[in-house]
Structure 1
């Protein structure tokens, strides 16, 4: 229950607090149960996971790298927890920019999951999705679209059309179509997806909010910049109400809104919004968090755009 409570803290956006709680729990389980007890290993998994979410990706990678051999020795190489830890590690490798290493890790993991768990096991299907996503991020958009199309058919067959993983794959596939140049197709697919999610899930479900964000993006890329800014502003209001003002997704949405305001021609307003966002991220995430550093770059860009616009007016 204590570990579940710590994990819940992280899911609420309090990653640093989750790390602190997991660290305390690890000390307790290590003392009472020993370093190789499965519960002790579980505290290390959650501690590393939320350390990565808090922005310390390098330390999280090191922690997972140390953890995998211990799980192999205690639980075995084919235990679901061992395989899940390998998935966390590969995901962090991608987050750190090592796409080739992450693709190799997920490819090896997928082969082991197919052998140990079966091709239709939910975790196996999830790994296929992560591998396809990385394929697209590495530049092979056509290959990723083909992989997601095959995966979607299998998910509909195994999980059903309304399973959350199936809906997530539809979202990723739509976004890849947009990246491939079919902006109108992406917006149409996300419009259909949003209608299905609103029927199956609650209106405030994280997946519904994510789809609203993605739909706004592709409508903006299609030319409706003003409408996109308005849609993101509405979305931000819902994120603040549902997740709170300091949740990472709320903060990210503030950055998206600032961007579209800039795209709509209000460079000064965009710069001011990024300045306010930076102060909030410094407080909530810390000065070295990747999102904080990215906002500093965005702020510099829109300040320069505002200066250019002011010089042109003058």
Structure 2
């Protein structure tokens, strides 16, 4: 069969028009229909893909039974397609029903059931049902730890997703403890210097910073910065971002002199790497000006404030306000307010 979506649609149309009803549910026909649905989904033709996946589910339910593993797998593909199409409510309900049926047929601890339950939590989170998503994530994580162990890759993924969901709902302290467990697991698996372990350490420090536990955050960031300097070097983006977050911790805990010292380094590196008028450079310069003001260095602070104002007028959209970006660049711009004070 062709992999061109328009040709596929015509072939499927001709197939449905010319094939006797009793031949439409043969394994070969359903297999071709499923393959066509995959191609359509990959091409972004979501509505057409969903229609074909539904026909596959219905056909397999008639010939194999609703509880057959192949039927259940087809329902999972339909649920994924609904999600890809942006039909979140339908995707949630399909995942919810499928999780119930998989638990009944294959048991709550089966590999397939745990995957679908994890996907259900993700869909709930994506749809804004954060509290229910957290409940499902916690249940899945407990079962994965018991069945597969705390260091299995899927367990780590679930723990990370749960921590992110907790953070999004303002529960940074709880998120920090899951990140702490993640650091321990990843250190055991790949060593303290691996990128994955360092990212987990960054996530932990970031949650402590957001929670206002500045001394703990400072301890984590100082250790992480030392390791990133050793492993990556001073100019690496992750190193610069880590130093930036450490400066913010110093500033918020009232250690303006330490904040200024680190912020000067960040500013110099961002001027070299990004240019003096890049939004992140201007953000850094604005923080430096604020902390210099805290130290009574008003003349130098005024110079930096003026450069921020001048740079902002030349940059489309102006300078990016200092602030935390929970879903993305966690270390680089630190968090919250635009002053360096605690």
TM-score normalized by structure 1? 0.53
Tell me what 2:238 maps to: 231
1:96 Cα offset (Å): 2.2
Which residue in the other structure is 1:78 paired with? 67
Alpha carbons of structure 1 residues 108 and 198: separation in structure 2 relative to 1, 3 Å:
same
Structure 1: 4+ residue segments shifted above 4 A? 17-20, 34-37, 211-224
For 1:271-312, what per-residue CA distance to the aligned partner results, in whole angstroms no more than 9, with x for missing partners? xxxxxxxxxxxxxxxxxxxxxxxxxxxxxxxxx9932439xx
Residues of 1 paired with 2:57 and 2:4: CA distance? 19
In the alignment, is residue 112 of structure 1 matched against residue 101 of structure 2?
Answer: yes
| Residue aligning to 1:173 | 162
Superimposed CA distance per residue, residues 41-77 of structure 1 (whole angstroms, 9 cap, x where no aligned partner): 3454344335424433223212212211122223321
- 1:98 Cα offset (Å): 2.0
Q: Which protein is richer in helix relative to its size?
A: 1
189 and 263 in structure 1: CA distance in 2 versus 1, 3 angstrom threshold: farther
Q: Which residue of 2 aligns with 1:66?
A: 55
If you compute each CA radius of gyration, which structure gives the higher value, 1 or 2? 2
Residue 133 of structure 2: aligned partner: 144
Change (3 A) 1:212 1:39: farther
Which runs of structure 2 are paired with 1:172-191 in the superposition (5 Å)? 172-183=161-172, 186=175, 189-190=178-179
Gaps (5+ residues) in structure 2? 16-22, 211-216, 218-224, 226-235, 242-273, 284-312, 320-342
1:182-201 aligned within 5 A: 182-183=171-172, 186=175, 189-190=178-179, 192-193=181-182, 196-197=185-186, 199-200=188-189
| C-alpha contact 1:184 1:218 (8 A) present in aligned 2 | no
In the alignment, which residue of structure 2 is the partner of 1:306? 315
Conserved in 1, the CA contact under 8 Å of 2:150 and 2:156? yes
Is 2:118 the partner of 1:129?
yes
- Number of residue pairs matched by the alignment: 219
- Output the aligned Cα RMSD: 4.6
